[in-house]
């Protein structure tokens, strides 16, 4: 069974970078699509981007200048980096796997990790 | 950006009732809409894909319909475990977006 687990700092200072890891078990990240989605206080959800089985990426244009999604296939992990964070980046961050061979809907999700941006 | 408007924001029901949750898109998106359920302190769960296609392991009381701009998630005879937030998500454009959610609560 595929399982995803987010990890990283729960508190980041404004203007710094947010870095999260998604560790995947039960499935190789060299197959399918792997994404990041966040949920803001108040329940708004935002798709951030994905990395594909081949390593290609797609990002939400509203984040494009600040976001990077990379991977380490030897560890079966993929990563989110979001630069120049502000308090508006405070959210619960989820990693997820695409459904079947699709990038556009999400079948498996991590439990989520709350990241607070505050000085 | 394609905006998804979900209504109502909150729906209060008693177990056994059947309900319909609405999701309206700001432009036609064919059937590129997907529905998720999120219970408190849990991660979202995919319920319905491409407007009306079922997902393995999801109870048959959940169904979806619609095309173009108007979509509906129906729950036939709500059970206590169904009280949660429901989101729609579109993938017609390469910028995937979510609705604001409908909270299904116990009356």
Each of the 107 residues of chain B gets a pLDDT tens digit; together they read: 999 999 999 999 999 999 999 999 999 999 999 999 999 999 999 999 999 999 999 999 999 999 999 999 999 999 999 999 999 999 999 999 999 999 999 99
pLDDT of residue A85: 97
- Cα B49 from chain centre: 10
Tokens of A113: 């990790």
Q: Cα-Cα-Cα-Cα dihedral of B25, A80, A35, B81, to 10°?
A: -80
- Cα A45 from chain centre: 13
Tokens of B53: 């296609």
pLDDT of residue A64: 78
Q: Which of B66, B50, B27 is nearest to A102 (CA)?
A: B50
- Region A63-73 average pLDDT: 95
Residue B84 to residue B82: CA distance in whole angstroms: 6
- Region A13-30 average pLDDT: 98
Q: 3-class SS at B19?
A: strand
Cβ–Cβ gap A104/B101 under 8 Å: no
Q: Is the distance from CB of B12 to CB of B106 less than 8 angstroms? A: yes
pLDDT above 90 (res A101): no
Q: Mention every residue, 6+ apart, whose C-beta is less than 8 A from residue A15.
A: A84, A85, A86
Q: Which of A15, A12, A22 is nearest to A91 (CA)?
A: A12
Instruction: Sort strands B19-25 and B4-7 into parallel, antiparallel or unpaired.
Output: antiparallel
What count of Cα atoms within 13 Å lies in the side-chain half-sphere of residue A96? Answer: 29
Q: Which of residues 16-75 of A touch B (CB under 8 A)?
A: 43-47, 58, 60-61
Q: Is the dihedral of CA B72, B73, B79, B80 positive or negative?
A: negative
Instruction: Chain B: give the shortest CA distance to residue A104, in Å.
Output: 6
Task: Point out the residue among A43, A99, A109 whose CB comes nearest to the CB of B43.
Answer: A109
pLDDT above 90 (res A103): no
Contacts of B34 in chain A (CB under 8 A): 104-105
Q: Is the dihedral of CA B45, B47, B49, B54 positive or negative?
A: positive
Residue B29 to residue B39: CA distance in whole angstroms: 27
Residue B26 to residue B7: CA distance in whole angstroms: 14
Q: Cα-Cα-Cα-Cα dihedral of A92, A93, A95, A98, to 10°?
A: 80
pLDDT of residue A16: 98
Residue A36 to residue A51: CA distance in whole angstroms: 9
Contacts of B91 in chain A (CB under 8 A): 104-105
A111 touches chain B (CB under 8 A): yes
């Amino acid at each position: 069974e595929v399982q995803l687990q987010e990890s990283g700092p729960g508190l980041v200072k404004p203007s710094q970078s947010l870095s999260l890891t998604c560790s995947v078990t039960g499935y190789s990240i060299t197959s399918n699509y792997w994404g990041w989605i966040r949920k803001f206080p108040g329940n708004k959800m935002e798709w951030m981007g994905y990395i594909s089985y081949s390593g290609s990426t797609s990002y939400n244009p509203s984040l494009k200048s600040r976001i990077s999604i990379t991977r380490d296939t030897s560890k079966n992990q993929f990563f989110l980096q979001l630069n120049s964070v502000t308090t508006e980046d405070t959210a619960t961050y989820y990693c997820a796997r695409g459904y079947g061979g699709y990038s556009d809907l999400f079948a498996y999700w991590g439990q989520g990790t709350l990241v607070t941006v505050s000085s | 950006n394609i905006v998804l408007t979900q209504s109502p924001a909150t729906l209060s029901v008693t177990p056994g009732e059947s309900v319909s949750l609405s999701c309206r898109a700001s432009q036609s998106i064919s059937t590129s809409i997907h529905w998720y359920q999120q219970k408190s302190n849990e991660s979202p769960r995919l319920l319905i894909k491409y407007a009306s296609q079922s997902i393995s392991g999801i109870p048959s009381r959940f169904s979806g319909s619609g095309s173009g701009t108007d979509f509906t998630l129906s729950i036939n005879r709500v059970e206590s475990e169904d009280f949660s937030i429901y989101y729609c998500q579109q993938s017609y454009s390469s910028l995937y977006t979510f609705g604001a959610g409908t909270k299904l609560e116990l009356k």
